[in-house]
Amino acid sequence: MIDEKLLDAAKKASENAYAPYSKFKVGAALKTKEGKIFSGCNVENASYGLTMCAERVTIFKAISEGYQDFSEMTLYVDSDILFTPCGACRQVIAEFSCEMKITIVSRKKTLETSIKELLPYGFSLDE
């Protein structure tokens, strides 16, 4: 079941994405266990290694505000293509919760999964 507040926050965040290279404007929304929502977007760079994905922007934003316990993340891209987080984002998500629910939404498809499914043998404090 999709959390509509998270989806709306992710969609709104995607509008602010800086994506002149990939053209994929990604938004992410993260819910803390207390119910607070943080959102962020991808920020690309001509030097691709300096690009920051929406997932990490959102998590780092929440961490910088003093939150570390997360329950759910929703990702949105205004595209027909359904994507999943990159390896770096998967590992950052796993750092804070191996059980976090992740919902990925494009214009045509939705995938409900977890970081444990996306990164089954990742490094974690939970192990």
- For the chain, give every domain's residue range: 4-118
Which pLDDT does position 127 carry in this prediction?
53
Phi, psi of 67 (to 5 degrees): -105, 140
pLDDT digits (tens, 9 = 90+) for 42-62: 999 999 999 999 999 999 999
The dihedral over CA atoms of 16, 21, 27, 33, expressed in degrees to the nearest 10, equals -120
CATH topology of domain 4-118: Cytidine Deaminase; domain 2 (3.40.140)
For 110, the token pair is 């939705």
Which pLDDT does position 51 carry in this prediction?
96
Taking all residues of the chain, what is their mean pLDDT, rounded to a whole number? 94
Are β-strands 70-77 and 101-105 bridged in parallel, bridged antiparallel, or unpaired?
A: parallel
Catalytic hit among 4, 15, 34, 55: 55
Which pLDDT does position 126 carry in this prediction?
58
Q: Could you give the CA distance from residue 106 to residue 50 in angstroms, rounded to a whole number?
A: 25
Residues of the chain whose pLDDT is less than 70? 124-127
Task: Please name every residue paired with 32 in a beta bridge, in sequence order, or none if there are none.
Answer: 70
**For 52-115, what is the HEC assignment?**
ECHHHHHHHHHHHCCCCCEEEEEEEECCCCCCCCCHHHHHHHHHHCCCCEEEEECCCCEEEEEH
Judge whether 55 counts as a catalytic residue. yes
pTM over 0.75: yes
